[in-house]
């Protein structure tokens, strides 16, 4: 409390009351603004499309994929829609089965016995034949060309050796393993396999060829439809 002194007497009186204020220490710079954590953004998925996708993938209605898989699922759905819009939709399982049935009905096979071992060849699909010709075309105009054509065609056509599937016989289903196997075969065995392949191709060609005028007229009428 303040005090006043004089020859006439001493007097004490109440002084003003001061309010205490906390002043922050600014020596370390102004306080930094910290952004509160934001919730993770989850992509919006159309529920109907999600259920259809789960049914195609064999998933039950209660299946709940992790968030990362949901984003991937959304991208796949969008890609499928874009492909459908462009007329490039992938074949469904039913269409693939029909194609496999047709291939099984139309593909020609040929087997022969050599030294007690059975070999089986089959005609090539259009894509397999194209791949073989493209691979062999690298050697056009060289002495290797006929050897490479034979190697490429027989490698893709041979399906059984001594009653065993080629994939099991080689322990691999890659074309590289088949081509390497061709290099290890006896030259005359490979030549025999190629001759059997050519005979099979001629047989298949005759099977689907137009043999007479009646067949030709039927083809023309089918083209007009």
Asked if residue 121 lies in contact with residue 157, where contact means CB atoms within 8 angstroms, the answer is: yes
CATH code at position 111: 3.30.2220.20
The yes-or-no verdict on residue 170 having pLDDT over 80 is: yes
Q: Confidence class of residue 221 from pLDDT cuts 50, 70 and 90? A: low
Do the domain assignments include residue 9?
Answer: no
117 and 155 belong to one structural domain = yes
pLDDT, one tens digit per residue, over 188-212 is: 999 999 999 999 999 988 887 776 6
H or E element in which residue 109 lies: strand 109-114
114 and 170 belong to one structural domain = yes
118 and 185 belong to one structural domain = yes
79 and 169 belong to one structural domain = no
175 torsion bin: left (phi>0), alpha (psi -120 to 50), beta (else): alpha
- The percent helix, strand, coil of the chain (3-state, each to 5) is 55, 10, 35
Do the domain assignments include residue 119?
Answer: yes
113 and 66 belong to one structural domain = no
Do the domain assignments include residue 21?
Answer: no
Neighbours of 172 (CB within 10 A): 14
pTM score, whole prediction = 0.52
Q: Confidence class of residue 76 from pLDDT cuts 50, 70 and 90? A: confident
User: How many structural domains is the chain composed of?
Assistant: 2
The yes-or-no verdict on residue 79 having pLDDT over 80 is: no
Asked if residue 177 lies in contact with residue 167, where contact means CB atoms within 8 angstroms, the answer is: no
Do the domain assignments include residue 11?
Answer: no
Range of the domain at 204: 106-208
120 and 184 belong to one structural domain = yes
């Amino acid at each position: 409390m303040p005090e006043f002194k004089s020859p006439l007497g001493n007097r004490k009186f109440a002084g003003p009351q001061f309010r205490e204020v906390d002043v922050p220490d600014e020596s370390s710079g102004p306080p930094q603004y910290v952004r509160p954590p934001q919730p993770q953004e989850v992509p919006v998925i159309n529920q109907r499309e999600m259920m259809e996708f789960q049914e195609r993938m064999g998933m039950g209605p209660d299946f709940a994929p992790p968030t990362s898989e949901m984003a991937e699922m959304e991208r796949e759905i969008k890609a499928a829609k874009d492909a459908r819009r462009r007329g490039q939709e992938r074949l469904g399982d039913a269409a693939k089965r029909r194609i496999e049935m047709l291939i099984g009905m139309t593909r020609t096979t040929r087997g022969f016995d050599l030294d007690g071992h059975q070999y089986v060849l089959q005609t090539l699909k259009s894509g397999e034949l194209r791949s073989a010709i493209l691979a062999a075309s690298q050697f056009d105009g060289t002495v290797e060309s006929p050897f490479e054509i034979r190697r490429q065609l027989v490698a893709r056509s041979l399906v059984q050796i001594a009653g065993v599937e080629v994939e099991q016989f080689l322990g691999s289903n890659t074309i590289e393993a088949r081509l390497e196997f061709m290099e290890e075969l006896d030259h005359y065995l490979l030549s025999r396999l190629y001759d059997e392949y050519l005979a099979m191709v001629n047989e298949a060609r005759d099977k689907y060829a137009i043999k007479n005028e009646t067949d030709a007229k039927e083809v023309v009428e089918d083209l007009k439809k």
